[in-house]
């Protein structure tokens, strides 16, 4: 049985920015402290929600290093270092580890994509040299590429590939992955509206956008489940469902950054090409934050 990087709710943390688009590190530090105080079980830095795709390598790595130093070993820091160029993913991953990342999140190659055999070669190339645990990231809606259950089984045989963030939305696929891989591949929900279904299929938690605005509640959904309080866990998931929907009323992370601004953080805007939230969607978001007692 492999060691699990974390159980519970890890936050896919946003990257706060100034008006000129540069990273607001002081505000990122404030967010990290508030996440830890709110019970978050892991910081996932420079993922999709963190806008890593618009970061040059040095900025990307500086952001990872800052999160590592700010977190100071209190909870794991998982760094997004995936790429559609295997050599780039390897180089970025090795440097992120040198700067202190506890684990790495590796998305499937996008745009040029590959086949399943290519996925195995790609992820294995990173896992062979990184020296820290690897979480795969399956998000076909963004990449056009799905990690098949049989491919998960093959990758789970690597000692450093320990988990997967499953954001395919395909619950049957999640069941197949767990049936094939068991404890050799920890499964994390990549969708906040599917935490309970994935926990019920043996999942270890969630890598969450919702945690940015409601870290305690997201943590509690998982913790209650692990304590055997399944009805309470389900009730809390259902309670948070309208807010989850509001946080995905537009392309992530547009809504969650708007939400964090509403909550008093200096989150700033998203970098282009991401746009601003429309007035009607902003009102929907504000209403949900109010109804959940966050505003």
Q: Among this protein's residues, is 265 annotated catalytic?
A: no
Among residues 213, 215, 253, the alpha carbon closest in space to that of 49 is found at 253
Question: Hey, what are 111's tokens?
Answer: 């745009």
Q: Among this protein's residues, is 157 annotated catalytic?
A: no
Q: How far apart are CA 112 and CA 39, in angstroms?
A: 39
DSSP one-letter string for 73-113: TSS-EEEE---SSHHHHHHHHHHHHHTT-SEEEEEPP-SS-
Residue with tokens 């304590």: 227
Among residues 150, 151, 195, the alpha carbon closest in space to that of 169 is found at 195
> CA angle, corner 7, sides to 150 and 142, nearest 5?
50
Q: How many CA atoms lie within 13 A of 97 on its CB side?
A: 17
Among residues 9, 8, 1, 34, the alpha carbon closest in space to that of 260 is found at 34
In this structure, are residues 219 and 41 in contact, taking their beta carbons and an 8 Å threshold? yes
**Residue of 70, 113, 157, 165 marked catalytic:** 165
**Residue of 70, 137, 204, 265 marked catalytic:** 137
Q: Which residues are catalytic?
A: 137, 165
């Amino acid at each position: 049985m492999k060691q699990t990087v974390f159980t519970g709710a890890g936050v896919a943390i946003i990257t706060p920015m100034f008006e000129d688009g540069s990273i607001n590190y002081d505000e990122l530090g404030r967010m990290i402290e508030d996440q830890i105080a709110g019970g978050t079980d892991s910081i996932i830095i420079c993922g999709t929600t963190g806008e890593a795709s618009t970061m040059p390598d040095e900025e990307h790595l500086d952001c990872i290093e800052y999160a590592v130093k700010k977190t100071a070993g209190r909870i794991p820091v998982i760094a997004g270092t995936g790429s559609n160029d295997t050599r780039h993913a390897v180089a970025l991953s090795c440097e992120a580890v040198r700067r202190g990342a506890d684990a790495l999140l590796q998305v499937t190659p996008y745009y040029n994509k590959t086949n399943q055999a290519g996925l195995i070669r790609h992820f294995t190339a990173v896992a062979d040299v990184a020296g820290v645990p690897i979480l795969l990231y399956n998000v076909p809606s963004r990449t056009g590429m799905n990690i098949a259950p049989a491919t998960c089984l093959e990758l789970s045989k690597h000692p450093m590939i320990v988990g997967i963030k499953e954001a395919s939305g395909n619950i049957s696929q999640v069941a197949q992955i767990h049936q094939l891989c068991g404890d050799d591949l920890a499964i994390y929900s990549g969708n906040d509206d599917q935490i309970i279904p994935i926990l019920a299929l043996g999942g270890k938690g969630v890598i969450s956008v919702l945690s940015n605005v409601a870290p305690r509640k997201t943590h509690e959904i998982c913790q209650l489940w692990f304590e055997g309080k399944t009805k309470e866990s389900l009730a809390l998931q259902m309670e948070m469902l309208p807010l989850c929907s509001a946080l995905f009323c537009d392309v992530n992370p547009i809504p969650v950054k708007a939400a964090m601004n509403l909550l008093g953080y200096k989150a700033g805007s998203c970098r282009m090409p991401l746009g601003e939230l429309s007035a009607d969607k902003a009102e929907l978001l504000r209403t949900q934050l109010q109804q959940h007692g966050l505003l």
